[in-house]
Structure 1
Amino acid sequence: MIVAALMGFASGLPLLITLTLLQAWLTENHLSLDAIGLFALITLPYSFEFVAGPFIDRYTPPWLGRRRGWLLAVQLLLAGAIAGLGLTNPHKDLMLVAVVALLVALFSAIQDTVINAYRRESLADDEQGLGASMYIWGYRIGMLVASGGGLIMADYIGFRATFAILGLFMLPGILTTLFAPEPNAQAAPPPSLREAVVGPFVEFFTQRRNVVLILLFIVLYKLGDTLALTMTTPFYLQLGFSTAQIGAVVKLFGFWAVVLGGVLGGMAIMRIGQYRALWWFGLLQALSTAGFAWLVHTGPSISWLAVVIAAENFTGGMGTAAFVGFMANLTNREFTATQYALLASLMSVPRTFLASSTGFMATALGWTWFFIVCALLAIPGLLLLTRFRGWLRDAPPASVTPSSGQVRQ
């Protein structure tokens, strides 16, 4: 569980560097909302994590083992790319900024693929829900350092130095990779690259009923929450909050709500099962997203900002814990990296493709209706969840047999 939390930190750090921190940098350089929204396309690698999965499943590096060997190599590249982002200049070469940010997202996506495989193989099926909450706890700390800490540092030392320092914050993840044990529960690597590519998809689509609905649910479940998150930083800045206030209230204060939500969410999943956890946590997520619309009317009020952020982070931590545990238990241990990466890639589709239009949505609808629409977008996923009532209602989080990975029906 400690390793899951530390690896979550390494996984969460790069994401908000390419979202929150980069958005703030571009906003301060007076780029339009439309251009900032289009920068969401740099997270495209998160939608294609499954491409690297077969190579990670099939081949073992000559150092540290199959999971840790891949992890060390990509973490070193990721640390260099984060630091390199500070050497670019939005005024002189915006395309170079986009290319380096794309490299950060690429190495981050590959790292996520390996970490998710490591966690799935290191924990028993009945530990996946709690393991997911610990991972999310560390993930949120990484996000806190990148966004909250990054924004505060940028206010005092500038963005260039901030990116260099954040590159050094990959060291905890690198040290964890060096000293953590290799998973004992690994299945044998696929015998060929062809089997590593074809096998995961054949197994996934033939061994599960309602597979199309499952994949659609993964795309829709956090759709509204993801779209809202993409534009929150420009929203705070336009309301009149400073970057230091955003870092202190939105990130530092909100962090404790995430910790509480993640821990209570992980415990609740074990008690009430996946179906009820996904339903109630998803509904609470939607309500908290609608809360951002209230800030339009309160203006730059620190107290109301704290209330809305506490609610959003608490429910977001609970919902993500249930969602990640659900996806982990859908995978077969023989093809962990590829299958989980496929599901994670589908989850990132809204953030990558639909989020690129959020700047246009906010401009056309205004901030109030933008967040209300984002909240309403949770409804299709919740309605689709009812189709899984039969095999999720009373099942504990461990809904996959260790040998086959097949969902119990």
Structure 2
Amino acid sequence: MSGMPLTQLLREPRLRMIFLLGICSGFPWVLIGSAMTGWLTDAGLSRTSIGLFGSIFFVYAINFLWAPLVDGFQLPVFRRLGDRKSWIVFLLLVMTLACWGISQISPQASMVWLSILAMTIALASATCDIAIDGFRVDSFDPEAEEALIPYAAAFATSGWWTGYSLLGAAAFYMKGLSSMDWADVFFYLAMFCLFITALVMVLVERDNRRREKLESRVAGLSLRAQLQFTLIEPFRALLRRYGSTIVLLLLSFLFTFKMGEAFLGRMSITFYKEIGFTDAQIATYSKMVTWWVTIVFSLIGAYFNQKLGIFRGLLIGGLAMAGTNLLFAWIAVTGPLESLYLFAVIADGFTSAFATVVLVSFVTLLTDRVFSATQYALLASIANFGRTTVSGASGYVVDYLNGDWATFFVLTTLMVLPSLVILWWLIRLLQARNFLSRD
């Protein structure tokens, strides 16, 4: 399976659906991430304010709290679409309406309403991610199809970056047109959100396999017992299987692994604008180039994930991801050199894709297929906590350094080191208890 050619992978319908759902997962980060940051920067908000505005991403860090509801219940009106698909379609429609609402206001006129609508998108997107991740995890048997799991992670990563980078580039290209302002851009982004909802309706299959397993587990239980089982059993099962020490180390590793990348990513658009790059350059290099690099290296990362194994893959990915942050410190010193910008974007895209694929594969292998959405949401939300919530302080750090971007990027490089120490300890325990091979 590890030698499966790309043409055969592309013919696998489950991987194509995972790619489309990856787009659905990445696209909202344009709405409340890069495009919103560009709008707020142009509107004259401070770096600290922009960083704090981005704290709405904290909902991705706590979505495990309501993940049992997505795992355990179906939406009454949409349930005929299937277990996961019903949630995905409904939440995409919510995001469409909220994005359209943003297009009707401006930061100068009403930051309150802008914040409310952005929070609505964040909540809908974080909940949608629960269903999307559950769909991906449910799609493959961890024993019979383990070799396909890294490729599922690669297609999900490629889809996410397609939604984030390609559509993010489109947003900045549109803004670069003299006839458009950011409100116009958000209107067209809302129309795309509606279009992608229609694609999900048509192309994603109805899925109820996990639902049947779950219902067999709760058959005969009272309504109260079913509710308790739905809310508590996913977390209890995780602790029962691995033990408190491994779970604590796992959560600590996930929290710290991408912290440095999160701090860099939160302030990247502001950095590019302040250092002197244009909207068109940002769209070309930070979005379009990153998109292609991520797609190519996600697939390469899936292949090497199988060859290297989980431990070596995470270790190499973490070190490489941290090292590429120093390239941005170099840009901060030299100024807006396009050649260096291109090199930094390619290197960062490669290391980020590689690290993401191996991390998603790692978490997928650790989840119980009956409680896939809840357990994956718990583990992913811890990783997102650093990436979405703590990184809200990134603007404050830059301001504290008086705009010393070079020092800021050196600090983001050092942030990954604690996670690698935790990883070494965690892998040793998992191998000792036969949860992972020693390859």
Smaller-chain TM-score bracket:
over 0.9
In structure 1, distance between residues paired with 2:38 and 2:68: 36
The 8 Å contact of residues 274 and 392 in structure 1, kept in 2 or not, is answered as: no
- Counterpart in the other structure of 1:14: 28
In structure 1, distance between residues paired with 2:356 and 2:432: 20
Q: CA deviation at 1:48?
A: 1.6
The yes-or-no answer on 1:229 pairing with 2:265 is: yes
Shifted more, 43-52 versus 133-142: the winner is: 43-52
In structure 2, distance between residues paired with 1:213 and 1:83: 42
The yes-or-no answer on 1:112 pairing with 2:129 is: yes
SS in structure 2 at match of 1:331: coil
SS in structure 1 at match of 2:109: coil
SS in structure 1 at match of 2:367: coil
The 8 Å contact of residues 64 and 178 in structure 1, kept in 2 or not, is answered as: no
Code of the aligned partner of 1:175: L
Q: CA deviation at 1:168?
A: 2.2
The 8 Å contact of residues 82 and 208 in structure 2, kept in 1 or not, is answered as: no
- Counterpart in the other structure of 2:214: 188
Match for 1:379 among 417, 422, 428? 417
Aligned pair in 2 of structure 1 residues 408, 305: CA closer, same or farther (>3 Å)? closer
Aligned residue pairs, count? 400
The yes-or-no answer on 1:58 pairing with 2:83 is: no
The alignment's C-alpha RMSD in Å is 1.9
- Counterpart in the other structure of 2:235: 201
The 8 Å contact of residues 68 and 178 in structure 1, kept in 2 or not, is answered as: no
Aligned pair in 2 of structure 1 residues 148, 273: CA closer, same or farther (>3 Å)? same
Deviations 1:107-133 (A, max 9, x none): 111110000000000123212211011
The 8 Å contact of residues 7 and 138 in structure 1, kept in 2 or not, is answered as: yes
Q: CA deviation at 1:161?
A: 1.4
Deviations 1:165-202 (A, max 9, x none): 11222223542244322346513246312111100111
1:65-144 to structure 2, matched below 5 A, reads 65-125=82-142, 126=146, 127-144=148-165
- Counterpart in the other structure of 1:159: 182
SS in structure 1 at match of 2:21: helix
- Counterpart in the other structure of 1:276: 312
- Counterpart in the other structure of 1:306: 342
Q: CA deviation at 1:246?
A: 0.5
Deviations 1:24-78 (A, max 9, x none): 1000000111111111111121112112211111112332121111111111111
Code of the aligned partner of 2:260: G
Code of the aligned partner of 1:353: T
Shifted more, 186-195 versus 328-337: the winner is: 186-195
Match for 2:200 among 160, 176, 180? 176
Provide TM-score, normalisation by structure 1: 0.93
SS in structure 1 at match of 2:119: helix
SS in structure 2 at match of 1:338: helix
In structure 2, distance between residues paired with 1:84 and 1:330: 40
Code of the aligned partner of 2:231: V
Shifted more, 46-55 versus 170-179: the winner is: 170-179
- Larger CA Rg, structure 1 vs 2: 2
SS in structure 1 at match of 2:44: coil
Deviations 1:118-177 (A, max 9, x none): 000012321221101111001100001332111111121221111111122222354224
- Counterpart in the other structure of 1:46: 60
In structure 2, distance between residues paired with 1:322 and 1:302: 30
Shifted more, 148-157 versus 31-40: the winner is: 148-157
Shifted more, 185-194 versus 109-118: the winner is: 185-194
In structure 2, distance between residues paired with 1:295 and 1:7: 34
Deviations 1:90-117 (A, max 9, x none): 1111111111111111111111000000
The 8 Å contact of residues 275 and 392 in structure 1, kept in 2 or not, is answered as: no
Unaligned runs of 5+ in 1: 401-406
Deviations 1:316-371 (A, max 9, x none): 01101111111111111111111111112111111333111111111222101101
- Counterpart in the other structure of 1:242: 278
- Counterpart in the other structure of 2:6: none
Aligned pair in 2 of structure 1 residues 408, 302: CA closer, same or farther (>3 Å)? closer
The 8 Å contact of residues 17 and 146 in structure 1, kept in 2 or not, is answered as: no
Aligned pair in 2 of structure 1 residues 201, 93: CA closer, same or farther (>3 Å)? same
In structure 2, distance between residues paired with 1:183 and 1:319: 29
Q: CA deviation at 1:383?
A: 1.0
- Counterpart in the other structure of 1:403: none
Give me the identity figure in percent: 27
The yes-or-no answer on 1:35 pairing with 2:59 is: no
Provide TM-score, normalisation by structure 2: 0.87
The yes-or-no answer on 1:216 pairing with 2:252 is: yes
Unaligned runs of 5+ in 2: 1-14, 219-225
Shifted more, 218-227 versus 381-390: the winner is: 381-390
The 8 Å contact of residues 133 and 321 in structure 1, kept in 2 or not, is answered as: yes
In structure 2, distance between residues paired with 1:370 and 1:379: 16
